[in-house]
Amino acid sequence: MQLFPCPFCGLRDETEFSFATEAGRGRPEPAAEVSADAWSSYLHFGANPKGATREVWLHAACGEFFVMERDTVTHMVTVQEAGEP
């Protein structure tokens, strides 16, 4: 059971959180100008790196979205930032 840091609530069990998206993936828009490839890539193709990763997570208990840097191999959480993902 991992512990994730919510910017408001502090360390909580991972079951209270859900993964939202990889950080820094801007939503392509306006729709009329977005190619099908660009949209599929936005919807379906994450980088899914082995090792260090930067992600947006949701603390479902309080509703806060935040950025978390962690390692997908060691599961160590390195950085957490509140505010604008």
Partner 1 sequence: MTSTRLSTSGRPLAFTFDGRSFSGREGDTIASALLANGVRIVGRSFKYHRPRGIVGAWSEEPNAVVDVTLDGKTTPNLRATTEPLVDGMAVRSVNARPTAEADRLGLLDRLSPFLPAGFYYKTFLWPDWHLFEPRIRAMAGLGRLDPAHEPPADCPVVNARCDVLVVGGGRSGLKAALAAARAGEVVILVDDRPLPSGSSIDRELEIDGVPAVQWAADAVSAIAAAGGRVLSRTTAYGIYDHNLVCCWERRTGDADRQWRIRPGRIVIAAGAIERPLVFADNDRPGVMLASAALHYLRRHEVLVGSNIVVAANNDRAYETARALAAAGAAVTVADLREQARASRESGIEILAGATIDAVHGKAGVEAVTVSGRRIAADCLLVSGGYTPSVHLFCQAKGRLRFDDAISAFVPGDAVPGISVVGSAAGELGDLRIVPAWPRAGAKGRQWIDFQNDVTLKDVELAARENFRSVEHLKRYTTLGMATDQGKTSNMNGLAAMAAITGRSIPETGTTTYRPPFVPVPFTVVAGRRRGELFNPVRRLPLEAEHRAAGAVFREYGGWLRPAFYGAGAATDEIRREGLQARETVAIFDGSPLGKIEVFGPQAGEVVDYNSYQTLSTLKPGRTRYGFMLTESGVIYDDGVVTKLADDHYVVSCSSGHVAGVVLRLEEWRQDRFDRSRAFVHNLTPHWATLTACGPRARSLVAALSLGIDLDDAVLPHMAVAAGSFEGVPARVARVSFTGDRSYEISVPLSKATALWRAMNEAGRPLDAVLMGSEALLMLRAEKGYIIAGKDTDGTTMPHDLGIVGPRDKRQGEYAGKRSLFMDNALDADRQQFVGLAVADGGAMLPVGAHGVEPAAGGRRSIGYVTSSYDSPNAGQPVALGLIRQGLARTGEEIEIVHLGKTRRARIVSPCFFDPEGVRLNG
**List of residues contacting partner 1 (CB under 8 A):** 1-3, 14, 20, 28-31, 34, 36, 39-40, 42-43, 56, 58, 60, 63-65, 74-75, 84-85
Query: What would the two tokens of residue 57 be?
Result: 């997570």
Residue number, 20 or 49, with CB nearest to partner 1: 20
Residue number, 49 or 76, with CB nearest to partner 1: 76
Contacts of 58 (CB under 8 A, 6+ apart): 17, 18, 19, 20, 64, 65
Residue number, 32 or 47, with CB nearest to partner 1: 32
Rounded (5°) CA angle 12-5-13: 20
